[in-house]
C-alpha cells in the first residue's frame, strides 16, 4: 500500500490505493512508529475512508493498532445530513475514558503509606470481570443514571458541585433515551456502578516529579505542583456499554440492507445518522456514556473516602479536586470547519481523545485560556501524561489526539513472555506497589506489551496537535 510522507509526523494513503475510498487516510506517527504499526491499521483506516459521508480524512493516531472495525486510535467525522454512525467507530466499551484527581499531598506523605493505601482502595473499588459495586439501584434509578450521569451522583452525595464543570460534557450528554436500551443491557450494567472492570483498566497513584513538568504556567492553572500525589482512573461503561454495542450491531446489519449500504468489513456495520436506527443507537450510546461518567464519579467518591481513612483528613482538606475527565470511545455532534465552511459533524473517536484548543466554548471556563486538558494513560510501568489541546488540532484533526500508548503485543503473547508474580516483584523493586485481581491479568499489561508512551506523546506535540504539561510517574497501581 502506497504511503506518502506529508511531514515528519503525518503519512497519507491516497484514495487511489483502495477502490471506494472517498477521502485519503492519514496516520500521525514518527517513521519508527509507522514501521512498527500492524498491517491491520492500514487495512482498517482505509476501510473507514470508504464510509458514506466521511469528511476530510480517515485518521489514525500514533498509538494506533488493530481494533474492531476502526483501528484503535481512529478518528472520523461524518456529515450529519448524509453520513453514518458506526458502533465500530466508538467501541464496545462506550465512553471508556480517563479521570485525573489532584491532591495537596506530596510524595513524602504518600509513599510511606502506599501499600496500605493500595490495599484499601483495592478493597473499596471492586475490579475484575463481573465485579459489582456498593451502589444498589432499581431499574428506574439506573435509567435516571443513564439520563442524568454525574448530576445523579452529585444529588445522591457521590460528588461535589464543582465536579461537574471538570468533566467532558459536564458529565452528562443530553438526549439519552433509556427506552432504546435492552433488558439484557440493563441486567449487565445495573450492579456495576463504581467498579473498575478488567483488561487495561486501572486506578493509579502517581507523582508529578519536578523534572517532568514541561509547562509550568499550564501546570499551575491545572493545580499541579512538584512532587504532588495524584490519582488517575481508567475505565468505562463495562458490560452495559458492551451489550449496547452488541445489540445495535445486529440492528445495523439489517439496516444496511434496508438502506443499500455496503462496507468493506462486516465490523464496520453502520446506519445513516438521521435514520431511525441511527438515532436509536445514538440515544442508546448516550445512555452508556452517561453511565460511564457516573461509574468514574462513584469511583472518585470511594477514592476520597479511602484517602480520608488513611490520612485522617477530609477530602476537601487534602485538595482532592478533579482536574478533568475525558472520554476516548464516543461519537459526538460537534461544529468543525470543512473547506472554509462551519459544519455540524458526527465525530467518532475510538481510542482517541478530544483535545479542543483555547477559547472553545466546550472547554471549562477555568481552563479556557490554556485549552482542554487531555489525559493520556501509559502502561503501569512507565507513567502517563497530562496535556492540553491546541488551535492546530481544531484545524487538522477535528480537535483529536491519542488516548494512550497503544498495544504492540497480544495479551496471550504477553502472558507467555512474563509471569504475573515476577512482574509484580520487578515493579515493587522499581518502587511501584501493584495489586491485581489475577497474576495472569497482570502479565497481560506488562510495559513491554505497549508502545513507548513518551514517543507517542512527543509525536503529537511535534505535530502541534497537543502540548505536554506534565508526565506522571506511578507509585501504586490497582489493576482490573
The structural domains of the chain, with segments of one domain joined by +, span 4-408+450-479
Write down the CATH number for the domain with range 4-408+450-479. 3.90.1860.10
Residue 43 three-state SS: helix
Question: Does 403 show up as a binding residue in the annotation?
Answer: yes
Query: What per-residue confidence (pLDDT) applies to 133?
Result: 86
Question: CA-CA distance, 359 to 33, in Å (whole number)?
Answer: 32
Q: 195 pairs with which residues across the strands?
A: none
Question: Does 140 show up as a binding residue in the annotation?
Answer: no
Residues with Cβ within 8 Å of 337's Cβ and at least 6 positions away in sequence, in order, are 343, 394, 395
Residues with Cβ within 8 Å of 394's Cβ and at least 6 positions away in sequence, in order, are 336, 337, 356, 357, 360
Query: What per-residue confidence (pLDDT) applies to 417?
Result: 81
Half-sphere exposure of 390 (CA within 13 A, CB side): 17
Query: What per-residue confidence (pLDDT) applies to 367?
Result: 97
Query: What per-residue confidence (pLDDT) applies to 445?
Result: 77
Contact present, 331 and 348 (Cβ < 8 Å): yes
Contact present, 378 and 459 (Cβ < 8 Å): no
Query: What per-residue confidence (pLDDT) applies to 131?
Result: 82
User: Could you state, in chain order, the average pLDDT of each consecutive group of 10 residues for the chain (480 residues)?
Assistant: 96 97 98 94 98 98 96 97 97 97 98 97 88 92 98 98 97 98 97 89 94 97 98 96 97 96 96 98 98 98 98 98 98 96 97 97 96 92 94 98 84 80 88 87 78 93 98 92
The sign of the torsion formed by the CA atoms of 292, 475, 323, 308 equals positive
Angle (CA) 121-111-228 rounded to 5° is 95
- Candidate list 301, 336, 403, 416, residue with the active-site label: 403
Question: CA-CA distance, 69 to 80, in Å (whole number)?
Answer: 21
Query: What per-residue confidence (pLDDT) applies to 387?
Result: 98
Question: CA-CA distance, 195 to 129, in Å (whole number)?
Answer: 10
Query: What per-residue confidence (pLDDT) applies to 410?
Result: 75
398 secondary structure, DSSP code = S
pTM: 0.96
Among residues 32, 55, 2, 3, which one has the least CA distance to residue 337?
55
Query: What per-residue confidence (pLDDT) applies to 126?
Result: 85
Question: Does 404 show up as a binding residue in the annotation?
Answer: yes
Contact present, 475 and 107 (Cβ < 8 Å): yes
Question: Does 57 show up as a binding residue in the annotation?
Answer: no
Distances (CA, A) of 99 to 269, 321, 325, 326, 470: 30, 11, 4, 7, 15
Question: Does 65 show up as a binding residue in the annotation?
Answer: no
Residues with Cβ within 8 Å of 465's Cβ and at least 6 positions away in sequence, in order, are 28, 355, 390, 392, 393, 396, 397, 400, 401
Contact present, 461 and 402 (Cβ < 8 Å): no
Cell of 99: 479521570
Query: What per-residue confidence (pLDDT) applies to 350?
Result: 98
403 is catalytic: yes
Question: Does 301 show up as a binding residue in the annotation?
Answer: no
Residue 118 three-state SS: helix
Question: Does 200 show up as a binding residue in the annotation?
Answer: yes
Amino acid at each position: 500500500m502506497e504511503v506518502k510522507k506529508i511531514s515528519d509526523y503525518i503519512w497519507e494513503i491516497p484514495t487511489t490505493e483502495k477502490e471506494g475510498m472517498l477521502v485519503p487516510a492519514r496516520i500521525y506517527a514518527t517513521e519508527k512508529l509507522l514501521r512498527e504499526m500492524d498491517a491491520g491499521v492500514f487495512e482498517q483506516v482505509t476501510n473507514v475512508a470508504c464510509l458514506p459521508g466521511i469528511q476530510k480524512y480517515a485518521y489514525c493516531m500514533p498509538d494506533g493498532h488493530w481494533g474492531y472495525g476502526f483501528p484503535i486510535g481512529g478518528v472520523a467525522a461524518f456529515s450529519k445530513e448524509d453520513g453514518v454512525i458506526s458502533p465500530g467507530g466508538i467501541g464496545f466499551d462506550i465512553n471508556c475514558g480517563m479521570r485525573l484527581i489532584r491532591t495537596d499531598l506530596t510524595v513524602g506523605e504518600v509513599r510511606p503509606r502506599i501499600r496500605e493505601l493500595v490495599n484499601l482502595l483495592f478493597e473499596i473499588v471492586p475490579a475484575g470481570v463481573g465485579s459489582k459495586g456498593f451502589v444498589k439501584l432499581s431499574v428506574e434509578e439506573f435509567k435516571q443514571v443513564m439520563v442524568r450521569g454525574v448530576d445523579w451522583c452529585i444529588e445522591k452525595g457521590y460528588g461535589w458541585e464543582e465536579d461537574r464543570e471538570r468533566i467532558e460534557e459536564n458529565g452528562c450528554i443530553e438526549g439519552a433515551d433509556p427506552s432504546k436500551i435492552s433488558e439484557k443491557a440493563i441486567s449487565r450494567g445495573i450492579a456495576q456502578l463504581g467498579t473498575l472492570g478488567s483488561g487495561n483498566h486501572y486506578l493509579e497513584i502517581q507523582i508529578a516529579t519536578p523534572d517532568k513538568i514541561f509547562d509550568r504556567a499550564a501546570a499551575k492553572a491545572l493545580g499541579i505542583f512538584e512532587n504532588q500525589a495524584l490519582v488517575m482512573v481508567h475505565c468505562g461503561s463495562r458490560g452495559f456499554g458492551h451489550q449496547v454495542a452488541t445489540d445495535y450491531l445486529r440492528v445495523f446489519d439489517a439496516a444496511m440492507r434496508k438502506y443499500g449500504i455496503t462496507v468493506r468489513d462486516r465490523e464496520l456495520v453502520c446506519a445513516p445518522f438521521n435514520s431511525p436506527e441511527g438515532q436509536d443507537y445514538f440515544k442508546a450510546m448516550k445512555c452508556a456514556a452517561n453511565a460511564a461518567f457516573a461509574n468514574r464519579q462513584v469511583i472518585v467518591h470511594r477514592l476520597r473516602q479511602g484517602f480520608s481513612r488513611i490520612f485522617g483528613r477530609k477530602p476537601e482538606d487534602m485538595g482532592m479536586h478533579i482536574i478533568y475527565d475525558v472520554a476516548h470511545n464516543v461519537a459526538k455532534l460537534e461544529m468543525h470547519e470543512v473547506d472554509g465552511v462551519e459544519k455540524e459533524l458526527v465525530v467518532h473517536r475510538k481510542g482517541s481523545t478530544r483535545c479542543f484548543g483555547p477559547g472553545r466554548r466546550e472547554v471549562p471556563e477555568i481552563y479556557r485560556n490554556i485549552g482542554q486538558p487531555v489525559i493520556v494513560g501509559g502502561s503501569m510501568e512507565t507513567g502517563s501524561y497530562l496535556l492540553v489541546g491546541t488551535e492546530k488540532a481544531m484545524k487538522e484533526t477535528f480537535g483529536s489526539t491519542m488516548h494512550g500508548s497503544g498495544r504492540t503485543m497480544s495479551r496471550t503473547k504477553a502472558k507467555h513472555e512474563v509471569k504475573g508474580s515476577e512482574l509484580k516483584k520487578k515493579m515493587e523493586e522499581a518502587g511501584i506497589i501493584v495489586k491485581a485481581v489475577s497474576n495472569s491479568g497482570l502479565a497481560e499489561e506488562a510495559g513491554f506489551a505497549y508502545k513507548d508512551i513518551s514517543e507517542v506523546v512527543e509525536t503529537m506535540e511535534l505535530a502541534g496537535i497537543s502540548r505536554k504539561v506534565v508526565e506522571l510517574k506511578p507509585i501504586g497501581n490497582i489493576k482490573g
